Amino acid sequence: MAPVNKAVFITEPKAYPLKVESTPYPTAGDGEIVIKVAAAAFNPVDWFIQIMGKDLFDWLQYPFVGGNDMAGTVVEVGPNASKFKIGDRVLGLAGGFEARFGAFQHYATLNIKTVTPIPADLDFTEAAVVPLGLATAACALYQKDFLALDPPSLSPKPNGKTLLIWAGASSVGTNAIQLAVASGYEVYTTSSPKNFDYCKQLGAARVFDYHSPTITEDLIEAFKGKTCAGGVVVHRGSDKIVFEVVRKSEGDKFVACASPPGDIPEGIQAKMVFAGTLRDNEVGSLIFDKFLPEALSQKKYRCLPKPLIVGHGLEHVQAAFDQGKAGGVSAQKLVVTL
């Protein structure tokens, strides 16, 4: 007899509040596993889906179960997923927008292309903050039609190139800094002054105040004599500055954006990143199979931003959405335990 499953539903477009209801126990298809979710983390897309509904994604099906980031224990292994076994502790990125993939439920299906085993001493709450930020950063840095950087290594050697990452204390920025440093790049990033030390601990060589009225000029000056590897934009609206810095620097002229880019100046290429695309190319395996498991076990990759636990149980998911919408969470990521 299958375990009883419950999930958090958005019952119709823009419905408030969320509802906790029974839902079918998910199945593990080809290349999939089912996990008992122990912790789920939150991203802006989660509450934007509730606020905007089909105005954001017109193809959403309701009732909708969301959530991209999760960690837990494997309870079922589907065909061609034998690299995992029942009882394994894992973190994973949701496989899509079907109800069975959503993180905000007790049991969820995961596509093994974006699942990584985690060490016994890594808490599920810490592991859950990683998947979407990591996948977005990896797509930006390594996909051939994006920045196409050198792959990450546990023993990186400097390659003489400098990457600009805007918003280094964000979830995507946190992962992008760590990955770029593991790939041998010098990283320049931006944050508020209170997060300068945080960004430097991640490996950034220099951190600039993104509120400074002279930030554009400061970055252009900093890149003089450097070979630019391109740029990564996390927050909407900051792309204009990154475009200008990359355009006026020697080196690559590509900027990867985590939100839709604005007007792209002549001489610059820019595109928006979609995290799930790494399942369809070599980057998924590069990160989730070849790099991350060993990096986590050797403590060479940090699960950050730190989890900020909102509560225990599915009934706390709406509170997490509300807290996320209200803003003010810095260098932390909201998490609910289950």
CB 108 within 8 A of CB 128: no
Please report the pLDDT score of residue 184 as a whole number: 98
Please report the pLDDT score of residue 95 as a whole number: 85
d(CA 306, CA 50): 24
Residue 191: name the closest of 173, 172, 176 by CA. Answer: 173
Task: Tell me the residue type at 98.
Answer: E
Please report the pLDDT score of residue 329 as a whole number: 85
Could you tell me if 16 and 42 lie in one domain? yes
Tens-place pLDDT, residues 229-240:
999 999 888 999
Tens-place pLDDT, residues 85-115:
999 999 999 988 899 999 999 999 999 999 9
Least confident of 39-43, 70-74, 235-239, 262-266: 235-239
Q: Please indicate, yes or no, if residue 86 is contained in any of the structural domains.
A: yes
Q: Please indicate, yes or no, if residue 267 is contained in any of the structural domains.
A: yes
User: Taking the model in full, what pTM does it have?
Assistant: 0.97
Please report the pLDDT score of residue 164 as a whole number: 98
> Can you say whether residue 326 is alpha, beta or left, with left for phi > 0 and alpha for psi between -120 and 50 degrees?
alpha
CB 54 within 8 A of CB 44: no
Q: Please indicate, yes or no, if residue 95 is contained in any of the structural domains.
A: yes
User: What is the number of structural domains in the chain?
Assistant: 2
User: According to DSSP H, which parts of the chain are helical?
Assistant: 44-52, 124-127, 131-142, 171-182, 196-202, 215-222, 239-247, 282-285, 292-297, 317-326
Q: Please indicate, yes or no, if residue 246 is contained in any of the structural domains.
A: yes
Average pLDDT, the chain: 96
Q: Which residues pair with 186 in a beta bridge?
A: 162
Residue 328: which pLDDT band, with cuts at 50, 70 and 90?
confident
Look up the CATH number of the domain holding residue 47: 3.90.180.10
Q: Does the pLDDT at position 169 exceed 90? A: yes
Q: Kindly state the percentage of the chain with pLDDT values over 70.
A: 100
CB 251 within 8 A of CB 161: yes
Please report the pLDDT score of residue 237 as a whole number: 86
Could you tell me if 108 and 145 lie in one domain? no
Give SS3 for 224.
coil
Q: Kindly state the percentage of the chain with pLDDT values over 90.
A: 95
Residue 1: which pLDDT band, with cuts at 50, 70 and 90?
confident
| Domain that includes residue 97, residue range | 5-130+303-337
Q: Please indicate, yes or no, if residue 239 is contained in any of the structural domains.
A: yes
CB 25 within 8 A of CB 35: no
Q: Please indicate, yes or no, if residue 114 is contained in any of the structural domains.
A: yes
Could you tell me if 183 and 158 lie in one domain? yes
Could you tell me if 124 and 62 lie in one domain? yes
Please report the pLDDT score of residue 230 as a whole number: 98
User: To which H or E segment does residue 335 belong?
Assistant: strand 332-337
Could you tell me if 152 and 184 lie in one domain? yes
d(CA 230, CA 145): 13
Please report the pLDDT score of residue 151 as a whole number: 98
Please report the pLDDT score of residue 73 as a whole number: 98
Could you tell me if 70 and 17 lie in one domain? yes
Residue 282: which pLDDT band, with cuts at 50, 70 and 90?
very high
Q: Does the pLDDT at position 36 exceed 90? A: yes
Could you tell me if 111 and 208 lie in one domain? no
Could you tell me if 272 and 144 lie in one domain? yes
Look up the CATH number of the domain holding residue 260: 3.40.50.720
- Mean pLDDT, rounded, for 217-240: 96
d(CA 204, CA 113): 29
Could you tell me if 54 and 71 lie in one domain? yes
* Long-range contacts from 154-161, C-beta under 8 angstroms, 24+ separation: 154/182, 154/291, 154/294, 154/295, 154/298, 154/300, 156/181, 156/182, 156/183, 156/184, 157/184, 158/184, 158/186, 159/183, 159/184, 159/185, 160/227, 161/185, 161/186, 161/226, 161/227, 161/228, 161/229, 161/251
CA dihedral over 95, 280, 303, 33, signed as positive or negative: positive
Please report the pLDDT score of residue 235 as a whole number: 87
Could you tell me if 308 and 331 lie in one domain? yes
Could you tell me if 177 and 246 lie in one domain? yes
Could you tell me if 175 and 203 lie in one domain? yes
Q: Does the pLDDT at position 2 exceed 90? A: no
